[in-house]
Amino acid sequence: MEAYVRRDGDGEALWFLGSLVTVKATGRETRGRLTVVEFVNPAGFAPPVHRHVDEDEMFYVLDGTARYHCGEQTFEAGPGDFVLLPAGIPHTFLVGPDGPLRTLQLTVPSGFEGFAAAAGTPAAQRRLPDPQAVDPAALAEAAARHGIELLGPPPTP
């Protein structure tokens, strides 16, 4: 393991469910302990309701707002807020209507980067992908291989 700095914009960039993911730290770089990615989700974005079998998922909000749902709890979060979504509990979130949500996502243990790579596409040119390009069957298969259970549709505004 070596020390490094990833500057703003550095890291493997992927389009994942219509959002830009930039990988900042992988399991290979953290001895399997942690994955860190920067997410930029468009206004109104929401992932399907899902749960991680093994990973706790955390978000540190840098810009924008979102409503997080975890089990029976709901949280509004904005810049400077930290959200913990424990492994095994169904969760999702809905990005606010006023602009993109930019977060630092941490998953413990590592592994999320493999799911993002399996379900995403390289974003070398950082142009927005066609949101209709997401294949639900391929997403479900990639999720199952990476210990993520898709449980229901995304929330609506």
Q: Is the dihedral of CA 21, 24, 30, 31 positive or negative?
A: positive
Residue 150 to residue 113: CA distance in whole angstroms: 17
pLDDT higher than 90, residue 2: no
Read off the pLDDT of residues 14-63 as tens digits, 9 standing for 90 and up: 999 989 999 999 999 999 999 999 999 999 999 999 999 999 999 999 99
Q: How many CB atoms lie within 10 A of CB 98?
A: 10
The residue among 100, 97, 101 whose CA lies nearest residue 83 is 101
Superfamily classification of domain 13-143: Jelly Rolls (2.60.120.10)
pLDDT of residue 115: 93
Mean confidence (pLDDT) of the chain: 92
pLDDT higher than 80, residue 112: yes
Please state the domain extents for the chain: 13-143
Q: How many CB atoms lie within 10 A of CB 139?
A: 20
Answering whether pTM is above 0.85, one says: yes
